Homo-oligomer: A and B are copies of this chain.
Amino acid sequence: MAWSYRRQVTFPETDASGRVHFTSVLKWAEEAEHHFLAEKGIAVLTPEGGWPRVGVQCDYRLPFAFGDEFEVELVLAQMGRKSLRWSFRILNGSSDVAAEGEMTTVFVEQGEATEIPQAVRALLDK
C-alpha cells in the first residue's frame, strides 16, 4: 500500500529553465522515505550509520514549477537482508504521474552494509 507525503515546491528547488531541477524530485522521494521511517519509529541517521542510497532510477514525465503542490506515493517494494527497495510516484496537483522511479537503500552501521535488525524489520512490517 502506498504511503503519501505532500508539500509545495520551494524556490531554490527550481532552476533557470523555470522548472524544478531534476535532482529536487529525487530529494522529495528521499524526504518521503525519511518521514515514513520516522513515523514507523525507525532512526534515519545514527552516529553509526543510516540508510544511504546504492541505486536510484527516475523517469520524468511532466515538469513542476515553483509553488506547485506535489504528492509522493511511496511503496516499500522489497525488503532484502541488508537493503530496502522503494518505489515512488510523484503526482502533481491534477493527480497526474509527473515522475516515477525506484531507489535502493542499505542499512549501514560503522560504515558497513549490515543485516537489518529484526526489530527494524518488525517496525517496517507494521
Contacts and interface: CB of A to CB of B under 8 A. Distances in A.
A9 to B, nearest CB: 9
A97 interface: no
Q: Taking the full assembly, how many copies of this chain does it contain?
A: 4
A100 to B, nearest CB: 10
A56 B57 contact: yes
Nearest to A55: B59
Given A16-B65, A52-B63, 15 more contacts: A10-B34, A11-B34, A14-B15, A16-B19, A16-B66, A17-B50, A23-B23, A44-B66, A44-B67, A54-B59, A54-B60, A55-B58, A55-B60, A56-B56, A56-B58
Interface of A: 10-12, 14-19, 21-23, 26-27, 30-31, 34, 38, 44-45, 50, 52-61, 63, 65-67
